[in-house]
Structure 1
Amino acid sequence: MARAHASHRHPPTTPEVMTISDLAVYLQMSQSSLYKLVQRGSVPGHKVGRHWRFHKVSIDGWLQECSAKAARPTKK
């Protein structure tokens, strides 16, 4: 009896340098919302020619920083 082999798929890895569409998937947000944040300078990234590029390490650090700010109690 032939045995069916299940294909073992590994989750796709996040590239070290991401495009705007890669980053939108990584952050689970729309590209248009992400563009607004990028244009405000809220997201760490670099323009290469006409295209934005984002280093995963910088994005992960930025996310940690955002989480830390959100966890701080507000002063009255």
Structure 2
Amino acid sequence: MEEETREILTLDDVAAYLKVGKRTVYRLAFKVGGTWRFSGTDIDMWIKQ
């Protein structure tokens, strides 16, 4: 079964997607070139939990 490939989201993208503040989503982040990035797949799995 193929896993759906999701884009990498910015902190602002995730906060808007989840309708929460930026501080709420920092624990799911990783840094790339000094900016916070998120895996869309990880965000979807977090929501399902």
TM-score > 0.5 by shorter chain? yes
The gaps in structure 2 that reach 5 residues or longer are 1-5
TM-score normalized by the length of structure 2 = 0.67
1:22 matched to 2:13? The reply is yes
The number of residues matched between the two structures is: 43
Per the TM alignment, residue 19 of structure 1 is displaced from its structure 2 partner at its CA by: 0.6
How much does 1:49 deviate?
A: 2.3
Structure 1 or 2: more strand by fraction: 2
Q: After TM superposition, where is structure 1 displaced by more than 6 Å over at least 4 residues in a row?
A: none
Q: AA paired with 1:25?
A: A
* Cα-Cα RMSD: 1.6
Structure with the higher helix share, 1 or 2: 2
Gap runs ≥5 in structure 1: 1-14, 66-76
Matching residue of 2:42: 58
- 1:61 Cα deviation from its structure 2 partner: 0.5
Larger Rg: 1
- Mapping for residues 1-76 of structure 1, pairs under 5 Å: 16-29=7-20, 33-34=21-22, 36-37=23-24, 38=26, 41=27, 44-65=28-49
